[in-house]
Each structure stands twice: as structure tokens, then as C-alpha cells.
Structure 1
Amino acid sequence: MSEGRAVVTLALYSNEGKLLSGQQILALAHNGGWTKLDQLVQKGYIASYRSPQFLAMISVIMQRLKNELNEPRLADALKPYYNKWRKLIKTNLVENKMDSYVSRLPPEEPEEAEREEGQGPQEESDSSARETLR
């Protein structure tokens, strides 16, 4: 299995990073994982049509580092890579006329994804509060 396929497989089977354990995420962060991933992205080893899942995984990892693992510095260290990869991947998708995949990319700022995910439960709790008041 090529290294690029291994990364995509990780993204897919980890449910875009949601099923990775905290230890697995920290191992990536502490053992040069971002540099290795950067080399793979730079070499174009991640298939264009799978790149949205890869970026979604990185976005989830950043959120989990910050919120769940209380490692905001590690999340901040990943952010420049995320921005660089997103730009490279988006350019590649546009150049290959894969516009439908561009719309599947996670937001430019991972915090936007966090806010978007947080809106659903907030709306639910708002409606529950309204029901209670009736």
C-alpha cells in the first residue's frame, strides 16, 4: 500500500479523525507526523477525490487537540500545515476541473467547522427551553 493510500485509509476508517484515540493523535503530533503528511501532500500522493476527507480529518484532529486533549499549542502548530494543504488541494481540484469536490472541503478556518457543528445542539436546547416554558 502506498503512503498516500495509507493516509487516505486512515482518514476514511477513522471517520475523518473522529475515531482516533487521543494517544494516536498525540503520537502524530509528537513524532513528526505533520512533516511526513506534508511531504505526502507536496508530492501529490493523496488522490484528489479523497482530499476532502483528508482535510476533514486534519480539521477534526485540530479541534480534538484543542478541546478534548487540552493541547491548544499542538493544534496551533498544525494550523499552518492545514492552511497550506487546503490551498494546495483546492488548487489541484480546480485545475483538474473537480469543482464538486471543492465544495466538500472543510472551511478555511477549522474554528468555523467547530462553530457549525455546535449550532445543531444549541438549536435543540433552545427549542427544548421553549417547550419547557409553554
Structure 2
Amino acid sequence: MPVFYRGPRALITHRVIEVPSRERQAFTLRELSRIQAVQEGPDLSANRFRAVGVTAVFTMVWAVPMLGRTSMLLAGVVTLALVVCAGACLRVRPRSEYRLLALNEGELVILVETDDRQEFDQIVRGLIRALDYRGDSK
């Protein structure tokens, strides 16, 4: 029995794709139709955080000369606060969700759902190879 992909989210052989959910589910490749790979995202809130971080950096460049004339201590405290804010905001990364959808006996099912792009690509390649193998052996 050829195995085209084996991982924590799926097991793909020449006949079935098994996916763990609450209980392990197996879908026969012959019964699947309209298989689609879908990417949702990236999350737009991450862009807002990045904008706040960039704004904090530019504010820091402006605030130090302005506040330094009045009080070096105040300029230091404001600079430190802006550095912390910029660092925290610029670390936020946009997240994408990847889903592998298919029709199984007329019902839409989510075969795989992950936020790991590399793992998702491996699963899709494994499924393509399994479908090709099934098509070659007919």
C-alpha cells in the first residue's frame, strides 16, 4: 500500500485520506470531488499593529529632540515607552489559515485545516500524487 503523505494532520494512501478530528475519519479518494485548496487571511489586524509600530518609531525620532530641550528624563521615559510599543507592534505577524475542502457524497467537508503553509503544501502534493496514482492504475 503506497503512502503519499503521513503526518499529524493527515494520512494519504492510494485509496483514502485519513484525517484526525474528534475521531479519526477516512474519506475514500474515489468518493471525493471538487477538491479545493483555500487560503484565508492574512489577518488585517496585524497590519494595524504594524502601522502603530511604524508610527511609534517616527514619533520617537520626533519626540527626542523636542522633549530633550525641556527634560532629558522625560525624553528618556517617552523614548523607552515608544521603543517598547514599536517592538511589540512590529512583532505581530499576519496569520493565514489553509483549508483543504472537498465534496464527499454531496456534502462539503474540511479535510485539513492548518496555519502551517509548509505542512499544507506537503499534504496537497501528497493528495495530488495519490489522485494521479489512482488515475494511472484505472
Q: With CA pairs under 8 Å and 6+ residues apart, which has the higher RCO, 1 or 2?
A: 2
TM-score (norm: length of structure 2) = 0.30
TM-score, normalising length: structure 1: 0.31
Tell me which structure has the larger Cα radius of gyration.
2
Give the number of the structure whose residues are more often helix, by fraction.
Answer: 1
